[in-house]
Amino acid sequence: MREKINNIIFGHDTKGGRLFDIILLWVILISVILVIFESIPSLHLRFFTTFYYIEWAVTILFSIEYILRIWSTKTPLRYIFSFWGFIDLLSILPTYMELINFGFHYLLAIRIFRLLRVFRILRLIKFNREAQKLLLALRGSGHKIGVFLMAVISIMVLLGTLMYVIEGGENGFTSIPQSIYWAIVTVTTVGFGDIVPQTVLGKFLSSIAMILGYAIIAVPTGIITVELAKNKSEDKVCEDCKNDNPDNANFCNQCGLKF
Amino acid sequence: MREKINNIIFGHDTKGGRLFDIILLWVILISVILVIFESIPSLHLRFFTTFYYIEWAVTILFSIEYILRIWSTKTPLRYIFSFWGFIDLLSILPTYMELINFGFHYLLAIRIFRLLRVFRILRLIKFNREAQKLLLALRGSGHKIGVFLMAVISIMVLLGTLMYVIEGGENGFTSIPQSIYWAIVTVTTVGFGDIVPQTVLGKFLSSIAMILGYAIIAVPTGIITVELAKNKSEDKVCEDCKNDNPDNANFCNQCGLKF
Amino acid sequence: MREKINNIIFGHDTKGGRLFDIILLWVILISVILVIFESIPSLHLRFFTTFYYIEWAVTILFSIEYILRIWSTKTPLRYIFSFWGFIDLLSILPTYMELINFGFHYLLAIRIFRLLRVFRILRLIKFNREAQKLLLALRGSGHKIGVFLMAVISIMVLLGTLMYVIEGGENGFTSIPQSIYWAIVTVTTVGFGDIVPQTVLGKFLSSIAMILGYAIIAVPTGIITVELAKNKSEDKVCEDCKNDNPDNANFCNQCGLKF
Amino acid sequence: MREKINNIIFGHDTKGGRLFDIILLWVILISVILVIFESIPSLHLRFFTTFYYIEWAVTILFSIEYILRIWSTKTPLRYIFSFWGFIDLLSILPTYMELINFGFHYLLAIRIFRLLRVFRILRLIKFNREAQKLLLALRGSGHKIGVFLMAVISIMVLLGTLMYVIEGGENGFTSIPQSIYWAIVTVTTVGFGDIVPQTVLGKFLSSIAMILGYAIIAVPTGIITVELAKNKSEDKVCEDCKNDNPDNANFCNQCGLKF
């Protein structure tokens, strides 16, 4: 019995497991859309009770699922303190918190806390195997992308400081953090236009920054393309030493075994 | 006779078929440009009758083509209810609708309906084989791109909710859907600037979102590049040594076997 | 004598030819910077005579070069009516036009005509072999990029028309061409923010357009990467049938010659 | 003794060298964050003395390091006049300059000079080997990227000049440099929106520029991807059959030769 439920809840290969996944997916989607729509004042007033009932239905469903997960797994503590266990708890806690409101009536805090339910959307990624495969394929390039981002952020810090010196507070560059924010908006080619350079030197430096931002996007793209292309090659695994060889190999390049 | 017309209308290889395609292409282009120019008030007043006559000429041409298509094909129902059959009908219906105006004088509805004629532009893609080949080549990466978009949209929903909490209605983040719209504008690096973060925390979170949006564009690019590179080589595998040869090979380049 | 000058002017391999190229490059750069700086009112007033003399010096140099080119080449007419011959003429004509001012004193027309001298910058590309090699490498992907652009422009036309219907003139979408202009600004992720959607439906459609524009940039990138990668592979050319084989080939895949 | 310190300061492989690197990294980070936070008026007033003491602590640490570097290296002059030697000096000089303030009380000049300490962030890149490997991998594509940038800047100059002629000063295109600045903002897809085309012809030309800028980003991406893919395989060529094997191969995968 316990193992059967474990198979349905944690597994994805049995018929029951797949059905469970699909139902859960729809419940997550509905609950996220609910949180989004609740924030629209006109809808909030009109469908207050509807929203209230759906919210409690979803929370009770998620609570049952959460309890079943703890009960059916062999390592309940590891599940509770795992990242996904935390997300699962975050999906139900806010609704219960509203009931308690013990002593302190920090309405705003509760209202904000309730919005955390939108993190339920992360559960969608958990159930998507393709997403996890993609993340795995990209893990190899993580270090290189990190180095690239470090270099880009260094450029943004330098650029922000220079623009703070050149433009100054009267043109909107009121402090270095503000100028760095502008540099990020510019180098990433977002370009809100809330702060723009006014001086000739500022415009010249911005031009260099924009061309730089436009061109260096090629670097992470190259890194990830090469990484994904590498994962693409379906290697010929040596039966003897389990080494990966390219698919056109006649001999294993580690132990010399003839294929 | 019927087969001959079928060859001209549906085929692209005979001399008549190619001529038919080129004429149709120009008629489509003219009719789309007409719809676009009609919407400019000054041109609409000045060339009202010219527009009227061209529109009817194009519609009659398209009607004849539509009837001939139904008459010449062996599977008329399958054509009528296909996607392209629907587009073909949509290309002629609006003009006729204007004639009828039975009872209800919903002028605005008709005016909007007439603009649907701009969907004729989709017919251009139908006649372009290269476009269909490109779509076919990309089909293999569709699932991965879908997963990527799902992840990006999840990030946008989370970011939008967080910004709604941080910035609030007085800074333009009036509801979660509005905040998600802002998140889409920011992460895709469009950056209209109609809504911009005002608080320090909001600017910090936006900075992270912008750098994220700037860097993760590399993921779909990598996926599609790998997909297109794969489709490039439709290999001829050697029966003898199982080596991959380019598809125009006469001999295996590893063992010299004649194909 | 004539051949010697031809070698210097048209060639890039002799010592004289390289020196000529470098001098010409600097003269072009100076003359373009001159045109740019002349447009700044304060500089125009202060350095009027300096600009005047430099301009005439550059024009006389270019004129001598133009005459020598015609004189030294064996096919003067082909040079004159070639694209680069036209650019070379455009580099000198505007300055002379100012002298003549025959009868009509269309000052504005002449002023605009003078700005055409900035097209001299195109001559920089002519002298850069690497640029021409890059263009050659990209020529193979031209057709595919064209198809991609046609599809993107079709989407922009459809999007523009739909937004014209949804938003209407009061929100800045005053005509379909104006709406298409907005669609181009949005799909290319430029995002000026001079026109922005105001209605809920308009924002929803914009969101889809932005995500689309953000994702489909991957397509031309993939096409060009594959094209450049293809040109990279240094093939093993068969001595017998001149066929290109991959560099790991043991036998020519066209005639079976053993390498 | 001298060699031991040299190993710790310049080396990265010994235990002491690694510890030194990590401590230095944190000191650099703290000092950069200090410069950034100092620029916020409210923080500047409140933590004036704290900032002052940390700044001097960091400067003394960097000074000791600088002196030890000069003393321990065998080629002190080469270090002092190298790029990194200059950056190291720039990291300490501004703080000392404040002490001296000899005669002239150019407070603004000193204040600006102090901000130069933010260039300490460049030292982060120096200590990151992966960043230097990435730069090395990209060096091969430097020439091609340069040609691409030259072509893009040429387009921006031409576009800027044309827009200056079309739009003119009353629409914000007050001079050619200003118009070129706008062209850079547009072609790089930043799109601040501080200057936007107003005329129909200007909008048409902008549309072409935006589509161009959107599509040609594919070129540097392609160049860098191909370059990075090439650098991936430092092959071991078989002496016998000249086949390319991966660099960790023990046997040739074509003929089985032992390396």
* B93 and B176 co-located in one domain: no
Q: Say what the alpha-carbon torsion angle D244, D249, D251, D252 is, to the nearest 10 degrees.
A: -10
Residue A193: pLDDT band by 50, 70, 90 thresholds?
very high
Say whether A192 and B189 touch across the interface (CB within 8 A): no
Total structural domains within chain A: 2
Q: Mutate which of D164, D165, D199, D212 to test chain C, going by most C C-beta atoms within 10 A?
A: D165
Average pLDDT for chain B:
83
Sign for the pseudo-dihedral over CA of C167, C170, C176, C181: negative
Least confident of A169-178, C15-24, D99-108, D139-148: D99-108
Which token pair is A171?
């043109």
Q: Is the pLDDT of residue C132 over 70?
A: yes
Whichever domain contains D248, its CATH number is: 1.10.287.70
Please report the sign of the dihedral spanned by the C-alpha atoms of residue A206, residue A207, residue A209, residue A210: positive
Report yes or no: A169 at the B interface, CB cutoff 8 Å: no
Instruction: Return d(Cα D167, Cα D171) in angstroms, integer.
Output: 6
Answer yes or no: is pLDDT of C41 > 80.
yes
Average pLDDT estimate for B102-115:
61
Of residues C190, C192, C221, nearest to A221 (C-beta): C221
Any CB–CB contact under 8 A between A253 and chain C?
A: no
Question: Which residue among B189, B190, B221 sits closest to D221, beta carbon to beta carbon?
Answer: B221
User: Do C124 and D146 touch, CB atoms closer than 8 A?
Assistant: no
Q: Which residues of A touch B215 (CB under 8 A)?
A: 145, 148-149, 220
Select from C218, B133, D218 the least CA-distant residue to A228: C218
Contact D217, C217 (CB under 8 A): yes
Partner-chain contact B189 C189, CB within 8 Å: yes
Question: With contacts defined as CB-CB under 8 Å, which chain A residues touch B164?
Answer: 39, 115
The helix/strand/coil state of B236 is strand
Mean pLDDT of C147-165: 91
List Cα–Cα distances, C128 to C124, C133, C135, D65, in angstroms. Answer: 7, 9, 11, 47
DSSP state of B116: G
- Can you read off the two tokens belonging to residue C226? 């594959």
Pairwise CA distance, residues A73 & C79, whole Å: 82
Please indicate whether residue B195 or residue A14 has the higher confidence score (pLDDT).
Answer: B195
pLDDT grade, residue D28 (50/70/90)? confident
Chain-chain contact of C35 with D176 (C-beta, under 8 angstroms): yes
Per-residue pLDDT averaged across B21-36, rounded? 87
- The percentage of residues in chain B with a pLDDT greater than 90, rounded to a whole number, is 28
Using CA coordinates, name the residue in chain B closest to A224: B222
Query: Chain D contact for A177, CB < 8 A?
Result: yes
Identify whether residues C240 and C156 lie together within a single domain: yes
Residue type, D222: G
Residue A181 in this model has a pLDDT that exceeds 90: yes
Distance from the A156 Cα atom to the nearest Cα atom in chain D, whole angstroms? 11
Residues B164 and B256 in one domain: yes
Q: Are B39 and C164 in contact (CB under 8 A)?
A: yes
Asked if C196 and B194 touch (Cβ cutoff 8 Å), the reply is: yes
> Among the three residues B105, B127, B149, which one is the final residue of a domain in this structure?
B127
Task: Report pLDDT for D9.
Answer: 79
Cα(B67)–Cα(B55) distance, rounded to whole angstroms?
18
- Bridge partners, residue C236, by sequence: C245
Same domain for A182 and A85, yes or no, is no
Each residue's pLDDT tens digit, B165-203: 899 889 999 999 999 999 999 999 999 999 999 999 999
- Residue D33 to residue D29: CA distance in whole angstroms: 6
Closest CA to A249 of D230, C238, D241, C258: D241
Is residue B105 scored above 70 in pLDDT?
Answer: no
Q: Which residues of C touch A193 (CB under 8 A)?
A: 192-193
C217 and B221 Cβ atoms separated by less than 8 Å: yes
pLDDT value for D233: 47
Confidence label for C232 from pLDDT (cuts 50, 70 and 90): very low
CA distance B2 to chain C (A): 33
Of the listed ranges B233-247, C123-137, D172-186, the one predicted with least confidence: B233-247
Lowest mean per-residue pLDDT among B24-28, C202-206, D63-67: B24-28
Choose, out of B33, B195, B223, B225, the residue to mutate when testing the contact with D (most D CBs < 10 Å).
B225
Mark which residues 39-78 of C lie under 8 Å from B by CB: none
Contact residues, chain D, for A255 at CB < 8 Å: 250-251
Chain C positions touching B189 (Cβ under 8 A) are: 189, 191, 214
Contacts of D191 in chain B (CB under 8 A): 190-191
What is the per-residue burial (b if ≥16 Cβ within 10 Å, else e) of C226-238? bbbbeeeeeebeb
With helix as H, strand as E and coil as C, how does B120-143 read?
Answer: HHHHHHHCCHHHHHHHHHHHCCHH
Residue D43, token pair as written in the block: 């923080």
The DSSP line for B155-183 is HHHHHHHHHHHHH-GGGT--SHHHHHHHH
Q: Regarding beta strands B244-245 and C236-237, do their DSSP bridges make them parallel or antiparallel, or are they unpaired? A: unpaired
Which tokens in the block code for residue D185?
A: 């903002």
Q: Give the span between the Cα atoms of A7 and A20, in whole angstroms.
A: 10
Task: Please write down the long-range contacts of B129-133, taking CB distance under 8 Å and 24 or more positions apart.
Answer: B129/B12, B130/C143, B130/C144, B130/C147, B131/C147, B131/C150, B131/C151
Q: State the pLDDT confidence band at B250, using cuts at 50, 70 and 90.
A: low
Q: In this complex, how many residue pairs, one in chain A and one in chain D, have their CB atoms less than 8 Å apart? A: 162
Q: Which chains touch B (3 or more CB pairs under 8 A)?
A: A, C, D
Chain C residues in contact with B185 by the CB 8 A cut-off are 191, 210
Residues B179 and B64 both lie in one domain: no
User: Which three-class secondary structure string do you get for A179-234?
Assistant: HHHHHHHHHCCCCCCCCCCCCHHHHHHHHHHHHHHHHHCHHHHHHHHHHHHHHHCC
Residues contacting residue C180 through CB under 8 Å, at least 6 positions apart: B36, C156, C157, C159, C160, C161, D207
Across the interface, do D177 and C248 touch by the CB < 8 Å criterion?
Answer: no
- B193–chain C Cβ distance below 8 A for any pair: yes
D196 touches C: beta carbon within 8 Å: yes
By DSSP bridging, strand A236-237 and strand D236-237 are unpaired
Residues A145 and A122 in one domain: no
Which subunits have 3 or more CB–CB pairs within 8 Å of chain D?
A: A, B, C
Same domain, C177 and C57: no
Q: What are the tokens at B236?
A: 């001829």
| Position C137 pLDDT exceeds 80 | no
- Chain C hits for A190, Cβ within 8 Å: 191
Q: Give the pLDDT band of residue D136 (cuts 50, 70, 90).
A: confident
C-beta neighbour count of D69 within 10 angstroms: 19
Tell me which of A37, A200, A221 to substitute to probe the interface with C (most C C-beta atoms closer than 10 Å).
Answer: A221
Q: Is pLDDT at B85 greater than 80 in this prediction?
A: yes
Return the structure tokens found at B202: 């909001």
Q: Does the CB of B175 have a partner CB in chain D at under 8 Å?
A: no
Cα–Cα nearest to D32, from D110, D99, D87: D87
Average pLDDT score over residue span D154-170? 91
pTM: 0.85
> Among B115-129, B174-188, D219-233, whose mean pLDDT is lowest?
B115-129
> Quick check: B104 pLDDT over 70?
no
Distance of alpha carbon B46 from alpha carbon B214, whole angstroms: 47
CB C252 within 8 A of CB C177: no
CB-based contact (8 Å) between D192 and chain B? yes
- Measured at the CA of A204, the angle between CA A200 and CA A209, to 5 degrees, comes to 145
Task: Assess whether pLDDT exceeds 50 at residue A233.
Answer: no
Q: If DSSP codes are grouped into helix, strand and coil, which group holds residue B254?
A: coil
Per the rule left: phi > 0, alpha: psi between -120 and 50, beta: everything else, B100 is: alpha
Last residue of a domain, one of D107, D127, D147: D127
- Contacts of C among chains (3+ CB pairs under 8 A): A, B, D
* C245 confidence band (pLDDT: 50, 70, 90): low
**Spatial distance between the Cα atoms of B143 and C79, rounded to a whole number of angstroms:** 53
Looking at the structure, tell me whether residues D115 and D185 fall in a common domain. no
Gap between the Cα atoms of D33 and C199, Å rounded: 43
Question: Which residues in chain D have their CB less than 8 angstroms from residue B225's CB?
Answer: 225
Task: Render pLDDT for D46-92 as a digit per residue (tens, 0 to 9).
Answer: 988 898 899 899 999 999 989 998 888 888 899 889 888 888 888 88
Q: Flag whether residue B225 sits within 8 Å of chain C, measured between CB atoms.
A: yes
Q: Is A82 in the same domain as A58?
A: yes
Which residue of D211, D228, D241, D243 is the best one to mutate when testing the C interface, meaning the one whose CB has the most C CBs within 10 A?
D211
And the tokens for A169?
A: 């507070």
Distances (CA, A) of B26 to B30, B115, B127: 6, 19, 12
Look up the domain containing B30 and give its range.
2-127
Yes or no, beta carbons of A225 and B221 under 8 Å apart: yes
Search chain A and give the residue with CA nearest B214. Answer: A188
| Mean per-residue pLDDT of chain A | 83
Q: How confident is the model at residue C160, as a pLDDT?
A: 94
Q: How confident is the model over A109-149, as pLDDT tens digits?
A: 666 667 777 877 887 776 677 777 778 778 778 888 888 89
Specify the pLDDT at position D167: 92
A9 pLDDT above the threshold of 60: yes
Contact A124 B150 (CB under 8 A): yes
CATH number of the domain within which C18 lies: 1.20.120.350
- pLDDT of C192 > 90? The answer is yes
**What six digits make up the tokens of D38?**
């100092």
For B103, residues 6+ apart whose C-beta sits below 8 A from its C-beta are: none
Give yes or no: residues D190 and D253 share one domain. yes
More confident residue, A171 or D106: A171
pLDDT category of residue B144 using cuts at 50, 70 and 90 = confident
A·C CB contacts under 8 A? 10
Question: Which amino acid type is present at position D4?
Answer: K
User: Is the pLDDT assigned to residue D39 strictly greater than 80?
Assistant: yes
Q: Are residues B142 and B104 in the same domain?
A: no
Look at residue B254 in the predicted model and tell me its pLDDT: 67
Identify which of B227, B21, B130 has the alpha carbon closest to the alpha carbon of residue C222: B227
Residue B233 clears pLDDT 50, i.e. is over it: no
Is residue B218 less than 8 Å (CB to CB) from chain A? yes
**Where does the pLDDT of residue D237 fall: very low under 50, low under 70, confident under 90, or very high at 90 and above?**
low
> What Cα–Cα distance (Å) separates residue B45 from each residue in B38, B42, B50?
9, 6, 10
Given an 8 Å threshold on Cβ–Cβ distance, is B189 in contact with D192?
A: no
Please tell me the distance in Å from D165's CA to the nearest CA on chain C. Answer: 6
- From the number of C-beta atoms within 10 Å of its C-beta (0-12, 13-18, 19+), residue B243 rates as buried
Whole-angstrom CA distances from D3 to D7, D9, D84 are 6, 10, 20
Q: Is the domain of B74 the same as that of B163? A: no
- Taking CB atoms and an 8 Å limit, are A175 and D115 in contact across chains? no
Beta bridge partners of B236: B245
- Chain C partners within 8 Å of D227 (Cβ): none
Residue where one domain finishes, among candidates B127, B151, B180: B127
Q: Assess whether pLDDT exceeds 50 at residue D202.
A: yes
ipTM at complex level: 0.82
List alpha helices for chain D, DSSP H. 2-10, 15-38, 41-46, 48-72, 76-80, 83-100, 107-115, 122-127, 129-139, 142-167, 176-187, 200-216, 218-232
DSSP D114: H
DSSP track, C156-210: HHHHHHHHHHHH-GGGT--SHHHHHHHHHHHHTT----SS---SHHHHHHHHHHH
